[in-house]
Structure 1
Amino acid sequence: MPLELLRTTPPKERADAARNRAAVLEAAARLFAEHGVEAVTMDQVAAAAGVGKGTLFRRFGDKSGLGSALLDAREQTLQEAILHGPPPLGPGAPPDERLAAFLNAYFDYLLGHLALVRMSETATPGARYRIGAYRFWHRHMAILLATTPDPDHAAHALLAPLAADHVAALLPELGEQRMRTGLLRLAHSALREPRPESRR
């Protein structure tokens, strides 16, 4: 499937629904920043946004759904840079440079929104892999890893250490720079992986 078709796009909605959505997302972003994601309740978000609790739950389902909606705009910005931005993140650079640029950009995005991404990825078992943005990141990386023996597997393998739960657990012990360097080393190794000999 073409990468452009996998990008995250905002839903079409009526003007009043769009205003309510904007108010909710603004209130949630402010409350999460002030008090932390874990400490904020859906009731508090509804009150701060001036909408009914039922409206909030119907629109977003739960707090993880609200978190995912908040992340959409950030993901769209990164997706736009990948599709149409300047190289090396955007088109026009060799695959190894684009892969390194993507991993650095995604790691920066993850560190900037770690609690929200972690909540959206762990809301239910396997939630991370059902998020539309994950399919976009995976497809982009598989294209860049086209010369490897199994591009789809290599892309999943390189996305695995970028799981928010994994990063949150290891960040205090390893630190940002060590984790970033290790991730780029893995990508370098994946691009130079020899094709396995066929079994006799």
Structure 2
Amino acid sequence: MIPYLTTDHVSAFGDLGVALAALFAAWQGVKSLNAWRAERLGGRKIELAEDGLTQFYKIEHAFQAIRSPFGDASESADRDVEDHESPAERHGRDLGQATWKRLQAKQVTFEDFYVLGLQLKAHFGEEIYEECQAMRRCFARIRTAAQMMYSTPYEGYEDKNFRRRLEADIWNMDSDDPDSIEMKVQNAVKVAERILGKELR
């Protein structure tokens, strides 16, 4: 015997159809939302990679400007010279002040870079953030060297190697020493190009 359909059966089938249609619409909505979110995050990541790599290049250029061995006498012309300064003190203080003024002129560039470093860490991981920190340590080394040169003793530094290390941190010497600032900066840029550059290809 073939069962017959009642209005209740038809109504139940209708309700089931509406429920299935709602579930399908919800599934499609979630799928579309996920696709939109992935596309948006992907676009944001590309923008951040481009901005990050550009900032690494800007920092590299800033270091070159700060550490240029070619200076201008006006960089230390406004320094208050004390009568008792020896030639060694005068030279050290002039060099220290000139370097300090260059650091101050690039301060905002470095501050922006340090903030960006946290965003890069969130999206690209610890390796890229470590290179941001390496740049920060290089900045601190130059600042410390400038302060030490400004505090040159009357007779100058008796430890000639110590003085050379200070000057090497202040001036770009094109050194191939892995511990030199120029090599650390170059290495940081190479890592940034490897990690961030692939997002732009």
Q: What's the TM-score, normalizing by structure 1?
A: 0.31
Decide which structure has the larger Cα Rg and report it: 2
Q: What's the TM-score, normalizing by structure 2?
A: 0.31
- The structure richer in helix per residue is 2
